Amino acid sequence: MAYTDDAVQAKLSALNETQEGIVTVAQWIMFHRRHADRTAQLWMQRLKESTPNKRLSLIYLVNEVVQQSKARKKTEFVAAFSPIITESTSVAYKGAPYDIQQKLRRVIEVWRQRVIFDPPIQDQIEKSLDELDKTRGPGKKATLGGSLFSSGSSVPQELQPLVPLQTTLSKVDSASKNTVTHAYDEYDKLIDPANPVPTPPVHAARLSQVLKNLASAEGAVAESIKARWELIAGLEKMLEGHKTTLAKDEAVHQELGARRAGIETKKREVEDAIMRGLTDQQPHEQASAPAANDPRRRTASAATDGGSLEEPQRPDVEGLTPPPIESITPVGTPPPAFTTTTGADQFAPELPPSHDEPPPAPLALDALAAASILPHQAKRDHTNGYEDGYPSATKKRRVGSGTAEQDFADFGTGDAYDGIDADVADMLRRD
């Protein structure tokens, strides 16, 4: 394809971000190196009209062209792009997303490492980008040394003073390495015994050039040393500040530990006092004070309020329950006389004895009285002489007798001691 403006515009428009596409267009441009100046102008025009992503692809294209030209000892494109490279990088950098800015910074760093452009031009490129970062605001400044595909992150506020120092050190260190390498190479060529000695005028010119390179390298290393010492001073200042803060934090930590130990001791003391039934609020006053339901408290309260002193009410006392009659009645005691609450026992007529029934034999009665002590107690009437609602025979006999001697006649017989130990019976008889 013949070289024309339309052809160049078509190649730049069809450029994509792939490595193959960039290399293909770069080879076509380098083939027409006689039109390097015109190509640079058309490239700059296309760069201003493109989007941020397209501008990054155009920067990659220039990077491929100038590096390949430098490697082939062809200086046409380096000379053509040198006057516009500072402006073009500023246009591509301004307004671009942060990840694209990082990728552009990486490309510019490669240019410095490989000395693609002259050092003054390289310094102008980096200075213009630094100015754009200042207008952008703190915390968004891109730094050299990042990856082309890294998005980066904001720098903490505490490290902001170190960012410019590190940036300066990276720049001068990269420049010094390239300068020192070039000076060493020229020096080795000059003193190599294998190389023939040139004529004195040429030899003097080479010596002057090597001397200039050595002086430049020495100055670059001096700048690197200065920048590194400034960074070390900043780091030491930050370190001293952190040491001071660390001492304060350790003192606060010890004080908090002591206070915590004191509170734990106090807590254990209070818990022990609670377990012993004690309190810390004047226990002697609490012991002497009347209870809440004490009548003295109510009387004193009434007197304080100006009211009349009334006699306290009698406290509610639970009545004593008398023991059952069986527990205090001697064994063998006859049941009590028939009594009623209606007075029927006073008006009941005494029935005459029945002559139809034969009188019981005395021996039979004595035997019953002696042998039926326990059954008599077990069958004792608890209804005041009534069995199933009717007066019993025992009641009839007691009402008819009327004398205490007849009631206790059964206890006077000798048969009452049957079944009792002989020694006990003798003692009872003597009594």
d(CA 225, CA 228): 5
The pLDDT score that the predictor gives to residue 431 is 65
Give helix then strand counts, H and E, for the chain: 19, 2
Give residue 243's pLDDT.
92
> Cα–Cα distance between 61 and 25 in angstroms, integer?
8
Q: What is the pLDDT of residue 383?
A: 47
202-239 b/e (C-beta count within 10 Å ≥ 16 → b): eeeeeeeebeebbebbeebbebbeebeebbeebeeeee
Contacts of 96 (CB under 8 A, 6+ apart): 52, 55, 56, 104
For 254, phi then psi, to 5°, come to -65, -40
Beta-ladder partners of 391? 386
| pLDDT for res 114 | 87
Spatial distance between the Cα atoms of 262 and 5, rounded to a whole number of angstroms? 88
Question: What is the C-alpha to C-alpha distance for residues 107 and 122, in angstroms, rounded to an integer?
Answer: 12
The pLDDT of residue 137 is 54
Please report the pLDDT score of residue 266 as a whole number. Answer: 93
Q: What pTM value is reported for the model?
A: 0.37
What is the pLDDT at residue 65? 93
Per-residue pLDDT at 424: 78
- Write the DSSP assignment of 43-81 as a string of letters: HHHHHHHS-HHHHHHHHHHHHHHHHHHHHTT--HHHHHH
C-beta separation of 240 from 164 below 8 A: no
pLDDT value of position 294: 56
Residue 256: predicted pLDDT: 95
- Sequence-separated (6 or more) residues with CB below 8 Å from residue 308: 302
pLDDT of the chain, 431 residues: tens digit per residue? 788 888 898 899 888 888 888 999 999 999 988 999 999 999 999 998 888 889 999 999 999 999 998 888 888 899 999 999 999 999 999 888 888 889 999 999 999 888 889 888 998 999 888 888 887 655 444 444 443 333 344 667 888 888 888 888 887 887 788 788 888 888 888 888 888 888 888 888 888 888 988 888 898 899 889 989 999 999 999 999 999 999 999 999 999 999 999 999 999 999 998 988 865 555 555 545 555 555 555 554 544 455 445 566 776 666 666 666 555 555 566 665 555 555 555 555 555 555 555 555 554 445 444 444 444 444 444 444 444 444 444 444 444 444 555 555 555 555 566 667 778 778 877 76
